[in-house]
Amino acid sequence: MCAMDRSGDDSLSQSVRDALLHIKGLYNTSPVSVCVRNQQRDVLYSNTSFEQMYDFF
């Protein structure tokens, strides 16, 4: 399974675009550390909390 960023897709309705923006906002401002990795364990996406925590180490 592969996560894809669909926010640039022109065929999405405005309500779907609004939902994606809301979810991205929650993801970016969450105090919980979140990241997405590929099968080689490389970090593909991470939120600010994740970056702050792992910059500390």
With 90 as the cut, is the pLDDT of residue 32 above it? yes
Cα dihedral 25, 6, 33, 42 sign? negative
With 80 as the cut, is the pLDDT of residue 12 above it? no
With 70 as the cut, is the pLDDT of residue 48 above it? yes
- 3-class DSSP assignment, residue 23: helix
Span of 2-6, 11-15, 45-49, 52-56 with lowest mean pLDDT? 2-6
Q: Determine the Cα–Cα distance for residues 6 and 17; give it in Å rounded to an integer.
A: 9
Quickly name the fold that domain 14-56 has. Beta-Lactamase (3.30.450)
Span of 9-13, 36-40, 43-47 with lowest mean pLDDT? 9-13
**pTM score, whole prediction:** 0.56
Q: Determine the Cα–Cα distance for residues 51 and 12; give it in Å rounded to an integer.
A: 30
Domain spans in the chain, listed from the N-terminal domain onward:
14-56
